[in-house]
Amino acid sequence: MKNKVLVVGSGGREHALAWRLSLSSSVGHVYVAPGNPGTASEDDVSNIDISANDYAALIEFSKSKSIDLVVVGPEHPLCDGLVDLMNEVGITCFGPSAKAAQLEGSKTYSKEFLQKYHIPTAAYASFTEIPSALSYLKKQQYPIVIKADGLAAGKGVVIAQDEIVAVAAIEDMLAGNAFGEAGHRIVIEEFLEGEEASFIVIADGKDFIPMATSQDHKARDDGDKGPNTGGMGAYSPAPIVDEKVFKKAIETVIKPTIQGMISEGCPFTGFLYAGLMIDKLGNPKVLEFNVRFGDPETQPIMMRLISNLDELCLAAIDGTLHTQSIKWDDRACLGVVLAEQGYPEKYNKGTPIYGLDASEKYSDRKVFHAGTKRIGGQLVTNGGRVLCVCALGDDIKQAQTKAYNHCQTISWESKYNRNDIGFKAL
């Protein structure tokens, strides 16, 4: 009997995970709750009409279908403890416990953790009151980074070039106007220079296996300008992570984090994502932890994964990752996010999308859905980040050319994308 898998979530990440899981030789069928039109169109994948936040219904469904593996995509259910709830009733569910998920759920928690275990990161202080935050600010230099403590979909970070912007961000967040509950505590952090990379590993509590390296583009506009977003495109591998940087990331960040979580009494099982800033000398510092796969990094990484993802997740749950290895396609992959104009602020929904079927002809291209919806037969936009157009190539340059060529075959009235995804790798 082949395995039945449930993927929780509805974004591009979940489309890529569900697709890759469906291609695993040990998997018979993948359900996605709630999924999107992209997951609905995959062979051996079906959507079920349960929200990613309806934990009781997800548990009920998993029990009734005798699901063999649940993979939780987004951070909210992980931070709420969905894995704990599933485990309590005997469902095999991959991801960190709520306690371990604090690495992402609270910036203050993760900064204290980093400091305690001597893992390199920016200097910081944490505040709940405006006056003390402002008096700390007086002693800082610019640019300075202001972060909402809680989950804010990658948007709760303001890089302030001057005092006016910094004061406004602090007041906005702490007064609860921006990011609601997530902003009631803030972290003020030293600005780090360098180049970013996403360092993602699969971990079983004590051992880990690194994913292919990757880099995303968090700023909305070309040249890394404009507001921070969840990510406007990504590619793998990331040339900045050469062998030396890779080793440093493992030794100075990943190993002490896995060890530290054991010492904290909450060993980390799941996908652990360290957002790194790498300085001129190749030294990584942690910008943030995510306790899940990155979006859009997942899309190019899953395009390159050859190994059986189902087996890897099950081995991680069993604590037997040391018996596994991982194989990657040697080609590079680059993904461009097609967004609705105005994202991450105000944007339209419901705009008809044209030209989407063309990628099915190519084995080296794939379009992952994120914010889409089908109304009748027509596909329409249904979110800020709408699609992620991925292409494999002999190198980043070729992957980039193919991906951008393909972007041109897809159209809608208010389509927006960056035109320089991958520029740092060229």
Q: Tell me if 192 contacts ligand AMP by CB under 6 A.
A: yes
Binding segment (CB under 6 A) for ligand GLY, from list 34-42, 161-169, 200-208, 294-302? 294-302
Q: Shortest distance, CB of residue 136 to ligand GLY, whole angstroms?
A: 27
Q: In this structure, what token pair is assigned to residue 344?
A: 């991450």
Residue 269 interacts with, from ligand AMP, ligand GLY, none (CB under 5-8 Å by kind): none
Site for ligand AMP contains 240 (CB under 6 A): no
Among 70, 100, 157, 238, binds ligand AMP (CB under 6 A): 157
What is the greatest pairwise CA distance in the chain? 64
Annotate 390-410 with DSSP letters as a single string: EEEESSHHHHHHHHHHHHTT-
State the binding partner of 196 from ligand AMP, ligand GLY, none, CB within 5 to 8 A by kind. Answer: ligand AMP
Q: How far is CA 261 from the centre of its chain?
A: 20
User: Which residues lie closer than 8 Å to 217 by C-beta, 6 or more apart?
Assistant: 224, 231, 232, 233, 234, 418, 421
Question: Which phi and psi angles does 112 have, rounded to 5°?
Answer: -65, -40
Which residue stretch of 54-62, 126-134, 187-195, 260-268 sits at the interface with ligand AMP (rule: CB under 6 A)? 187-195
Q: Is 295 in the site for ligand GLY (CB under 6 A)?
A: yes
Q: CB nearer to ligand AMP: give 82 or 159.
A: 159
Name the nearest CA neighbour of 395 among 239, 245, 241: 239
Q: Is 299 in the site for ligand GLY (CB under 6 A)?
A: no
Q: Closest separation between CB of residue 420 and ligand AMP, Å?
A: 15
Is there binding between residue 294 and ligand GLY (CB under 6 A)?
A: yes
**Contact with ligand AMP (CB under 6 A) among 55, 191, 328, 423:** 191
| Among 33-41, 132-140, 186-194, 403-411, the segment contacting ligand AMP (CB under 6 A) | 186-194
Which residue, 297 or 310, has its beta carbon nearer to ligand GLY?
297
Q: What share of residues in the chain are helix, strand, coil (percent, to 5)?
A: 35, 30, 35
Interface characters, 270-309, with ligand AMP (x: CB under 6 A): -----x-----------xx---------------------
Instruction: From residue 32, give the alpha-carbon distance in Å to each of 11, 84, 254, 384, 387.
Output: 10, 20, 30, 21, 17
User: From the list ligand GLY, ligand AMP, none, which binds 297 (C-beta under 5 to 8 Å, kind-based)?
Assistant: ligand GLY
Position 379: which residue type? L
**Beta carbons of 209 and 321 less than 8 angstroms apart:** yes
How far apart CA 322 and CA 152 sit, in angstroms, is 34
Q: Would you tell me the crossing angle of helices 255-263 and 107-116 to the nearest 10 degrees? A: 100
d(CA 34, CA 6): 10
Number of residues located near ligand AMP, criterion CB under 6 A? 16
- CB of residue 328 to ligand GLY, shortest distance in Å: 19
Please answer whether residues 3 and 26 qualify as being in contact, where contact means their C-beta atoms are separated by less than 8 angstroms. Answer: yes
Q: Which listed option, ligand GLY, ligand AMP, none, makes contact with residue 157 (CB within 5 to 8 Å by class)?
A: ligand AMP
Could you say which residues in the range 195-254 bind ligand GLY, by CB under 6 A? 216, 230-231
Q: Does 183 bind ligand AMP (CB under 6 A)?
A: no
Residues of this chain, 199-238, that bind ligand AMP according to CB under 6 A: 218, 228
Q: How far is the CB of 230 from ligand GLY (least distance, A)?
A: 6
Tokens of 138: 């007086």
> Which span (184-192, 291-299, 310-318, 401-409) binds ligand GLY, by CB under 6 A?
291-299
What are the backbone angles phi and psi of residue 249, rounded to the nearest 5°?
Answer: -60, -40
Q: Are 285 and 277 in contact (CB under 8 A)?
A: yes
CA-based nearest residue to 235, from 395, 372, 344, 363: 395
Q: What angle do CA 398, 400, 404 make, to 5 degrees?
A: 120
- Rounded to whole angstroms, the Cα distance separating 89 from 84 reads 9
In the range 135-154, which residues lie near ligand GLY by CB under 6 A? 154
Q: Which stretch binds ligand GLY (CB under 6 A): 84-92, 238-246, 292-300, 303-311?
A: 292-300
Of residues 154, 233, 344, 371, which one binds ligand AMP by CB under 6 A?
154
The residue at minimum Cβ distance from ligand AMP is: 288
Contact residues for ligand AMP (CB under 6 A)?
Answer: 122, 145, 147, 154, 157, 159, 189-192, 196, 218, 228, 275, 287-288
Residue ranges in contact with ligand GLY by CB under 6 A: 154, 216, 230-231, 290, 294-295, 297
